[in-house]
Amino acid sequence: EPEVTQTPSHQVTQMGQEVILRCVPISNHLYFYWYRQILGQKVEFLVSFYNNEISEKSEIFDDQFSVERPDGSNFTLKIRSTKLEDSAMYFCASSKASFDGYTFGSGTRLTVV
Amino acid sequence: GQQLNQSPQSMFIQEGEDVSMNCTSSSIFNTWLWYKQDPGEGPVLLIALYKAGELTSNGRLTAQFGITRKDSFLNISASIPSDVGIYFCAGSRTSYGKLTFGQGTILTVHP
Residue range B1-20: mean pLDDT, rounded: 92
Contact B40 A107 (CB under 8 A): yes
B8 interface with A at CB cutoff 8 Å: no
Provide, rounded to the nearest whole percent, the portion of chain B with pLDDT above 90: 83
pLDDT at A100: 64
User: Which positions ≥6 away from A30 have C-beta within 8 Å?
Assistant: A50, A51, A95, A96, A97
pLDDT at B39: 86
Cβ–Cβ < 8 Å for A13, A99: no
A72-94: pLDDT as tens digits = 789 999 999 999 999 999 999 99
- Rama region for B17: left / alpha / beta (φ>0; ψ in -120 to 50; rest): beta
Distance (Å, rounded) from C-alpha A2 to C-alpha A71? 19
**Alpha helices (H) along chain B:** none
A2 interaction partners in chain B (CB closer than 8 Å): none
Distance (Å, rounded) from C-alpha A19 to C-alpha B62? 41
Indicate the pairing of strand B61-65 with strand B71-76. Answer: antiparallel
Binned at pLDDT 50, 70 and 90, residue A104 comes out as: very high
pLDDT at A81: 95
* pLDDT beyond 60 at B95: no
B98 interaction partners in chain A (CB closer than 8 Å): 33, 45, 48, 56, 58
Contact B96 A48 (CB under 8 A): yes
Contact A98 B95 (CB under 8 A): yes
Work out the mean pLDDT of chain B and round it to a whole number.
93
Cβ-nearest to A50 among B42, B44, B96 = B96
A15-70: pLDDT as tens digits = 999 999 999 999 889 899 999 999 988 999 999 999 899 999 999 999 999 999 98
Question: Which one-letter DSSP state was computed for residue A47?
Answer: E
Contact B101 A44 (CB under 8 A): yes
Contact A56 B48 (CB under 8 A): no
Range 59-88 of A in CB contact (< 8 A) with B: 59
A56 interface with B at CB cutoff 8 Å: yes
Cβ-nearest to B104 among A42, A55, A95 = A42
